[in-house]
Amino acid sequence: MRTRGRAPVLGPRVSPLLVGRMPWTHLVGRNYVVYRRDWVIFVTGFLEPLLYLLSIGIGIEKLVGEFRLPDGSVVTYTEFVAPAMLATSAMNGALFDTTFGIFFKLKYEKVYDAVLATPMTPRDVATGELVWALMRAGVYAVAFVAIMAGLGLTSSWWTVLAVPAATLIGFAFGGAGMALTTWMRSWQDFDFITLAILPMFLFSATFFPLGRYPDGVEWIVQVTPLYQGVVLCRGLVTGTLGWDMVLAVAYLLAVGALGLAVASRRFGRLLLR
């Protein structure tokens, strides 16, 4: 089945056995075909945190010098910031598709109306979109870790686990973003998402440690998903492991699972009326 444009609704052919068990793979294939032609858009969310990282390495590190982690180990300021930019790139990759992308397909392209004319269910729609968001976050993570390694910003073999950790961050933000998008009425509503994302980016212990905040603000920062993602990535990249990373994994899994459940229910209400 195809839309009126150039991109297929259900994507390229895949194994019938796989499709029978996981029909959402058609939607993943459809997204792949679209971005294969518009790959520049695919990489845009990756560039912002990369530029922040490079600018910090060139300028701010020379002003700050060495930086001491909570366990007493010493790293450069760029090594402190780099894992946070990795977490941010995963957040960007997942959010772009599950907010702006889903809203456009839901309200204007009517892609999901066509999808639900097939045996696929609202749950399949939500799962397919979230899996695609995870793939995008994973691609960003692999590229970002490779750049960090090339710049000498990885000091531990635990860094190899930063890629699945960043993908988990994509799961949390993808699920939450997809759920919130189902309540969006117009493009203006996305200002609220920007209003939430920018403070998280600036204050989730990305550029300075949590201990610098007042006690009340410190608690608020700790309940944000990006902070938990930064804790996870920073611990793996620097090799400073702790029980707070286990809490971060549980937190991110819970946020993503809740978002997927809410989005599935909301897709059903919006598309099966």
The 3-state DSSP class for residue 2 equals strand
pLDDT at 43: 67
Q: Which amino acid is at 101?
A: G
Instruction: Measure CA of the first residue to CA of the last residue in the chain; give whole Å.
Output: 22
Residue 65 has pLDDT above 80, yes or no: no
Phi-psi region of 13 (alpha: psi -120 to 50; beta: other; left: phi over 0): beta
Instruction: Give the residues across from 67 on adjacent strands.
Output: 75
- The Cα 90–Cα 136 span in angstroms is 8
pLDDT at 46: 67
Average of per-residue pLDDT values in the chain? 83
Residue 234 has pLDDT above 80, yes or no: yes
Segment 240-259 shows an average pLDDT of 93
> Tens digit of pLDDT for each residue in 174-199?
999 999 999 998 888 888 888 889 88
Residue 50 Cα distances to 73, 175, 195, 201, 205, angstroms: 25, 24, 21, 13, 17
pLDDT at 60: 79
Could you tell me the sign of the dihedral formed by the alpha carbons of 67, 69, 73, 75, in that order? negative
Domain boundaries, the chain: 16-271
Report the 10 Å Cβ neighbour count for 66.
11
- Compute the radius of gyration of the chain from its Cα atoms: 19
pLDDT at 245: 93
pLDDT at 19: 47
Residue closest to 223 by CA, chosen among 208, 242, 237, 210: 210
Residue closest to 166 by CA, chosen among 154, 176, 156, 174: 174
Residue 152 has pLDDT above 60, yes or no: yes
Predicted structure pTM score: 0.84
Residue 249 has pLDDT above 90, yes or no: yes
Query: If pLDDT is split at 50, 70 and 90, which confidence band does 214 have?
Result: confident
Write the secondary structure of 240-269 as one string of H (helix), E (strand) and C (coil): CCCHHHHHHHHHHHHHHHHHHHHHHHHHHH
Q: What percent of the chain has pLDDT over 90?
A: 30
Segment 214-218 shows an average pLDDT of 83
Lowest mean per-residue pLDDT among 112-121, 169-178, 190-199: 112-121
Report the 10 Å Cβ neighbour count for 250.
11
